[in-house]
């Protein structure tokens, strides 16, 4: 059986549509040759990369890129035949936020502005999970153990 025949028809359609939206080699060449952030953002705006009515500029491009990332992970979640497939991609962001919680404990400063909300767990959930190992709020022994090992260092 071919690989595409194993993919659910809806997911296959979504993947094809999204694939057509990906930047092509010549788009990357244009961005690579742009003279600075402003010109790069102008090119991305012209391509409608952010798919929003807002125009990206040096002050808001970070939040617009966050939106693209959030939408991409939401899309992946909606077409994943198994939740664990999506969670593999979300794990990177969960670990990032776990490291933030460890740094907050170590430095005693709030770092909420550095949190990413694309993962499986919200920052408040990870904070709660860091209170007591036996609570196992994350519901994942490996992540729970890793978080507490980092907190104990």
What pLDDT score does 7 carry?
62
Rounded alpha-carbon distances, angstroms, from residue 144 to 33, 89, 130, 150: 45, 18, 8, 10
Q: What is the mean pLDDT of residues 42-51?
A: 91
Question: CA–CA separation, 54 vs 86, rounded Å?
Answer: 28
Q: Are 81 and 8 in contact (CB under 8 A)?
A: yes
- Within a 13 Å sphere around the CA of 2, how many CA atoms are in the beta-carbon half? 3
Question: CA–CA separation, 70 vs 76, rounded Å?
Answer: 10
pLDDT of 1 higher than 60: no
Q: What is the mean pLDDT of residues 113-134?
A: 92
What pLDDT score does 90 carry?
92
């Amino acid at each position: 059986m071919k690989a595409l025949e194993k993919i659910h028809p809806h997911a296959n359609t979504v993947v094809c549509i999204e694939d057509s939206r990906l930047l092509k080699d010549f788009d990357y060449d244009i961005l690579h040759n742009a003279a600075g952030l402003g010109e790069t953002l102008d090119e991305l705006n012209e391509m409608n990369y952010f798919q929003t009515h807002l125009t990206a500029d040096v002050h808001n491009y970070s939040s617009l890129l966050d939106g693209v990332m959030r939408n991409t992970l939401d899309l992946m979640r909606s077409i994943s035949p198994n939740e664990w497939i999506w969670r593999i991609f979300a794990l990177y962001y969960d670990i990032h936020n776990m490291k933030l919680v460890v740094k907050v404990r170590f430095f005693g400063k709030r770092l909420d502005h550095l949190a990413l909300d694309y993962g499986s767990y919200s920052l408040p959930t990870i904070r709660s999970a860091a209170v007591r190992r036996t609570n196992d709020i994350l519901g994942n022994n490996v992540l729970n153990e890793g978080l507490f090992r980092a907190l104990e260092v």
